[in-house]
Structures are given as C-alpha cells and as structure tokens.
C-alpha cells in the first residue's frame, strides 16, 4: 500500500520523484532503517498528493492545517501517523536547509506508556505452545537473547557460535553489531532447525515457498508478528504479544534476576542508557517493590515498620520533641 502511494505521487506530482530520491538517499546515508524509509516516504507522498505539490513548497499555514487534519483523522492513542508526518517533514526541512520551517514543527511529547511484559510462567506457556520448530526457535531468540524482530530475521547460520555459546547480531539499530550470550537451552532447537534446512544461509530461510530463496522474501516482518501472535493465542495469553514484547520481557526478567542496568543496555544494543532505564519502572526488584495495603490489613504480609517505631517517630524521640502531625497534603 505504501509503495502504491509513493508511486502515485512520483507519477502525478511534479518534482516529487526527484524530491523522494533525495530523501531516500539522505536516509540511507544517515543509516536509517527500511521501516523509516517506508514511513517517511509514505507520509511525504500522502502530503504531496493532498496538495498537488512537493511538501517543501507548501506554505507553513497549509502545513499546520494538514497536521490538524491528520490529528483529527487518525486519533490513535499513540498518534503514530501524526508523529511520522511531523518527523518526515522535519527531516525534509533539515536536508533542504529550511531551518525556519524546521523550528515551526510541533514538538512531540514522549509517551509515558509502559510496555507490556510477560511473566515467566507465560513465557513457559509460549514455549510449550510452540509445536513448530521455527516458532520455538523464534520465541527462544526473541526472549532468550532480547533480539529485535529484524535482528532475528537477519540471523545467518554463520552467526551462531555453539562452542562459545554466543550469537553475532549484525547490523542492529544504528547499524551496530553486538554479541549476545546463547543459553544451553538454545542449542538443541537451533541445531534441529539447521538440520531441517541444510542448504539455507539464513536461519529462517524457506518459511514461505512462494518467495525466492532469500531472507527478505522469506520470513518477513509480517510473518514474524503473525507467528508470535499465533503462538500467544495457542498459549491462551490474553495480553497483546508482539516480537518486541518478548524483548521487553527479556530485559525486565534480567533486571529482576539481579543483572545491572549497564549490562542490560549492552545486551539490548541501546545507544543511550536512558532508553534502558524504563525497565526500572517495570521490574519487580527487591528494593522499593510496592504492595497493596490490603495485604497488611488482612495479615497477608508484615508491615515494614512496627507500630510506633517509624523513622519519623524514632527521630522525634531522639530530639525529645513532640512529633508534629499537622503535615499538609502539599508538603506530602
């Protein structure tokens, strides 16, 4: 669908073909992913078709009207369509030197939404429901190694080091390579999959026989998502489960198991530690784990402090002062 929109814009809007070629060239030089190429191209093509001209030639007033139109037409919780429209325009304005227009683009506030994470029992149910060896290996890699969807699809036989129990992840986000440890539990399923496809180069080669013998047309992004959702359905998991859900679960479980945040950052291939810190808001670590007061009310757990021995009270005893209980809500 996205390619049809881009093709229509290239054919019907004067100057868009050259404009799109330059955008694609700059995206490639910047090392942006294929999904970024498609998203930016689609949004800019839609805008070109809407006005009948190249996006950089549209007045800022018309751009504002179009952004309002997009926000009203696609009121999704994540506002993904709106964000991609803004990001693509910013990129176009920047590479064409239109700084005055670039700074006029609305800022996109960061979402406070936390990712979905599975419990360890739910992961076990996923693996039990993975009767297809390809699905089982896929789940093992996404959860057991924290791989992104495209990283799993890109894996080659030569990237597996069974002796050192390591997997070479090539061309991750920002085109960065990294190594991730392989569990002993990975080895038997991986070797079984490799034995079933002895002539393949890519790990998931041959998923769809209607395509040619290469990764890009074999195990596609859509196929990966479909496989994960299918296994989640068979496992009876009602949460929305995607390939990235398993990556989030990988990081959260490692943090709960006691691994430090910097090591988790390196395993995930994050560039900034701030990206990894979100898991501190999800993981149930031994320090600072909250609980419901219903538990202490009905004796299901002990209180953290015995009555009359809270830190504030003990401090007041040391200073021989009567504790002031008139603390306002604002101070709290």
Annotated catalytic residue within 37, 71, 230, 244: 244
- Residue pair 83/43 in contact (Cβ under 8 Å)? The answer is no
Does the annotation mark 93 as catalytic? no
Annotated catalytic residue within 247, 248, 253, 265: 247
Annotated catalytic residue within 148, 248, 253, 265: 148
Output Rg (C-alpha) for the chain, integer angstroms: 26
- Backbone φ and ψ for 166, nearest 5 degrees, come out as -135, 150
Distance from chain centroid for Cα 179: 19
d(CA 227, CA 17): 36
**Alpha helices (H) along 13-132:** 16-29, 34-51, 60-73, 80-95, 99-102, 120-129
Does the annotation mark 270 as catalytic? yes
Q: Which residues contact 172 (CB under 8 A, 6 or more apart)?
A: 148, 151, 178, 269
Annotated catalytic residue within 37, 83, 157, 173: 173
User: DSSP per residue over 235-248, as a string?
Assistant: TT--S---HHHHHH
d(CA 140, CA 146): 9
Plot region of 235 (φ>0 → left; ψ -120 to 50 → alpha; else → beta): alpha
Does the annotation mark 230 as catalytic? no
Does the annotation mark 131 as catalytic? no
d(CA 149, CA 249): 14
Does the annotation mark 168 as catalytic? no
Q: Any idea how long the chain is?
A: 332
Q: Which residues contact 225 (CB under 8 A, 6 or more apart)?
A: 149, 242, 243
Does the annotation mark 244 as catalytic? yes
User: DSSP per residue over 194-230, as a string?
Assistant: HHHSTT-SBTTTTS-TTS-SSGGGTS-HHHHHHHHHH
Residue with tokens 């079984």: 192
- Residue pair 296/302 in contact (Cβ under 8 Å)? The answer is yes
Provide the annotated active-site residues.
148, 173, 244, 247, 270, 279
């Amino acid at each position: 669908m996205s390619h049809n929109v881009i093709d229509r814009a290239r054919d019907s809007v004067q100057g868009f073909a050259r404009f799109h070629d330059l955008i694609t060239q700059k995206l490639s030089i910047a090392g942006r992913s294929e999904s970024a190429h498609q998203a930016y191209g689609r949004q800019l093509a839609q805008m070109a078709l809407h006005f009948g001209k190249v996006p950089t030639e549209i007045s800022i007033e018309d751009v504002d009207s179009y952004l309002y139109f997009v926000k009203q037409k696609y009121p999704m919780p994540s506002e993904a369509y709106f964000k991609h429209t803004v990001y693509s325009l910013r990129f176009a304005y920047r590479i064409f030197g239109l700084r005055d227009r670039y700074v006029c683009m609305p800022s996109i506030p960061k979402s406070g939404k936390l990712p979905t994470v599975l419990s360890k029992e739910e992961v076990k149910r996923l693996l039990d429901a993975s009767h297809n060896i390809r699905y089982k290996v896929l789940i093992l890699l996404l959860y057991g190694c924290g791989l992104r969807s495209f990283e799993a699809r890109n894996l080659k036989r030569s990237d597996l080091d069974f002796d050192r129990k390591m997997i070479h992840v090539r061309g991750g986000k920002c085109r960065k390579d990294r190594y991730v440890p392989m569990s002993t539990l990975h080895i038997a399923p991986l070797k079984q999959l490799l034995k079933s496809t002895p002539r393949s180069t890519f790990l998931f080669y041959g998923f769809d026989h209607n395509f040619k013998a290469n990764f890009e047309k074999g195990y596609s992004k859509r196929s990966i998502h479909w496989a994960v959702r299918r296994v989640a359905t068979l496992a009876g998991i009602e949460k929305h489960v995607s390939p990235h859900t398993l990556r989030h679960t990988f990081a959260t479980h490692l943090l709960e198991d006691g691994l430090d945040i910097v090591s988790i950052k390196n395993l995930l291939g994050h560039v900034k530690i701030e990206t990894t810190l979100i898991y501190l808001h999800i993981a149930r670590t031994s320090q600072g784990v909250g609980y419901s007061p219903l538990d202490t009310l009905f004796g299901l757990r002990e209180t953290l402090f015995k009555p009359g021995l809270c830190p504030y009270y003990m401090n007041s005893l040391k200073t021989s002062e009567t504790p002031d209980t008139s603390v306002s809500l604002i101070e709290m």
